[in-house]
Structure 1
Amino acid sequence: MRKNTSGPRFKALLEAANISTTGFAKFWGTEAQNVHNWYTRGVPAYRMEEVSRLLSVNSEWLKTGEGHKESPRLHAPASNGDTFDAQSVRGVYTVIDPNDIDLVFFNEKPLTDTGKTHVIEDTDQSIRLLRAQLDQLEIKHSDAICARMIGNSMAERIEDGSIVAIDRGLTQVVDGEIYAIEHDGMLRIKYLHRMPGNGLRLRSHNSAEYPDEIFRAAQLDEQRIHILGWVFWWSTLSKRRPVVPFL
């Protein structure tokens, strides 16, 4: 495994973009000291992809200094003749027809021999949403992903097994909105509220069974709590098929 030597490159990228340590930490929702530590220890592996995407560089180059610095430019032709530049929109998406967008699916998957999980793309699944719906909410098509609700903590608003759509472009917390987070490899869907000192409150719709969880800023980093994005759509199936009387 190649050693993570990303610290100096990460620092140089911020300096080139005229982004201060404090400014990046505020945007990321963490303490400036945590970001400062990355200058020497390197960007954490579980945040490498997102930091690379945010700074428009190749994650392998950021991690090891090898390969091309720039992110690969991927072009996906749409059926209506449009061509979309993945570099400019920070991702890859597929246009099925002029009215639909095919969103990539992310799932919580087990890590080999660790007993833990992580959230990664599932290439065997996708879901279509209306292009107009994303445009109405000013969501970049490449920022929209899907995942599945696990558990009943958000019942009866979002039932277990529902599919949710997530805007990765909105990670700043707006109190009372629903967000998808990755918590030490677990995919969780919660109402979020800001707390003093850059802390965070996680609230479940099913609050009778799942009390509020409050994390200080240091705990967010220690427990690898990372906001994936704002949940803007979900599908919920009925729990049972109704019985038709008098048959």
Structure 2
Amino acid sequence: MKKNKTCGLRFKMLLKTAGISTTDFAHLLNYDKAQTVHNWYTRGVPDHCLEEVARKLSVNSEWLKTGDGPKDARHLRLVSDSGDTFDAQALRGVYTVVEPTEVDLPFFKEAPVAPGSHKTHVIVDNHQPMRLPRSYLDALDINYADAICAHMIGNSMAEKIGDGSTIAIDRGLTQIVDGEIYAIEHDGMLRIKYLHRLPGNGLRLRSHNSAEYPDEIFRAAQIEEQNIRVLGWVFWSATLNKRRPPLPFL
């Protein structure tokens, strides 16, 4: 049996161990129909739900998807509406309240769907978290559990965001505000662009380096065909200089 076919079995086992029905778990995810969650027993948890489901069940998302790596993700933390951070055993026991001055953000990256494959998808890299001051997120009213990081690849957003820059993304804001910068997954590719809504539910992608990268226009049907999904709003970026400046007169 292929690993990706066993995701549903692991998901079913987790709910059974925690004593949670599919109806209750659907309610936890704010889903209207428990049947949607029940279907995951045979189909597996969809990729776009994996991170949220894994956080709710306090397990490693990669283990849930493939069975690889450690099962437990005790480094994960859950955040209440008040901003308090809790030990990530959401469904297993008593919470321990922590009041950090910094928040660990998981890194997302583009990776091959299989070794040697040219097709990619966007996954979480559990081995490379990054910390940001809690005050940054508080000032923008960002739920800590929605904040993720990624690296800018390429020079399409130069000079605004340089190649190799670290960016922070708010997955809680996926509604498009014209002219804001968003991270999107485009048929498995991680892209950072200015987004603009167009009539007929179309979408325009604009690069800061527009001289080299002209605007891209997608109709509603093309958005669906090319699997374009908004991951979230880019609210922070940082660039490390690639070289030290030479000292004069030496």
1:108-119 matches, cutoff 5 A = 108-112=110-114, 113-119=116-122
1:1-247 equivalences in 2 (<5 Å): 1=2, 2=5, 45-49=46-50, 76=77, 84=86, 98-112=100-114, 113-247=116-250
What do residues 210-243 of structure 1 show as CA deviations (whole Å, max 9, x unaligned)?
Answer: 0000111111111111110000000012243211
- Structure 1 segments (4+ residues) deviating >2 Å: 1-5, 17-20, 42-53, 72-78, 82-88, 95-98, 237-240
**Is the Cα–Cα contact under 8 Å of residues 78 and 87 in structure 2 kept in the other structure?**
no
CA distance in 2, matches of 1:242, 1:85: 44
Query: Shift of residue 86 of structure 1?
Result: 5.9
2:61 alignment counterpart: none
Identity %: 60
| C-alpha spacing 1:48/1:97, structure 2 compared with 1 (3 Å) | closer
Residue deviations 1:41-73 (CA, integer Å, cap 9, x gap): x899443437868xx899xxxxxxxxxxxxx99
> For 2:108, what is the secondary structure of its paired residue?
strand
Contact 1:145 1:165 in 2 (8 A): yes
Instruction: State the alpha-carbon separation in 2 of the partners of residues 109 and 86 from structure 1.
Output: 26
- For 1:86 and 1:199, the matched residues in 2 are separated by 39
Describe the shift of the 1:52–1:194 C-alpha distance in structure 2 as closer, same or farther (beyond 3 A). farther
SS in 1 for 2:223: helix
How far apart in 1 are the matches of 2:129 and 2:53? 24
The answer to whether the Cα contact below 8 Å between 1:73 and 1:87 also exists between their aligned partners in 2 is no
1:77 to 1:159, Cα distance in 2 relative to 1, 3 A: closer
Q: Deviations 1:45-104 (Å, cap 9, x if unpaired)?
A: 443437868xx899xxxxxxxxxxxxx9988499xxx6527698xxxxxx9962111111
CA contact (8 A) 1:73 1:85 kept: no
- Counterparts of 2:157 and 2:122, CA distance in 1: 19
Give, in whole Å, the separation in 2 of the partners of 1:129 and 1:51: 21
Alpha-carbon distance change, 77 to 110 in structure 1, aligned in 2, over 3 angstroms: closer
Q: Which amino acid is 2:208 matched to?
A: H
1:12-34 deviations in Å (ceiling 9; x for gaps): x69xx6969xxxxxxxxxxxxxx
Instruction: Give structure 2 stretches of 5+ with no counterpart.
Output: 9-21, 34-42, 59-71, 91-96
Cα RMSD (Å):
3.8
- Against the structure 1 CA distance between its residues 174 and 99, is the aligned structure 2 distance closer, same or farther, given a 3 Å change threshold? same
Check the 8 A contact 1:96/1:102 in 2, yes or no: no
Structure 1 unaligned segments of length 5 or more: list them: 21-41, 59-71, 89-94
Q: Is the 8 A contact 2:104 2:132 kept in 1?
A: yes
In 1, distance between residues paired with 2:50 and 2:183?
17
| TM-score under structure 2 length normalisation | 0.66
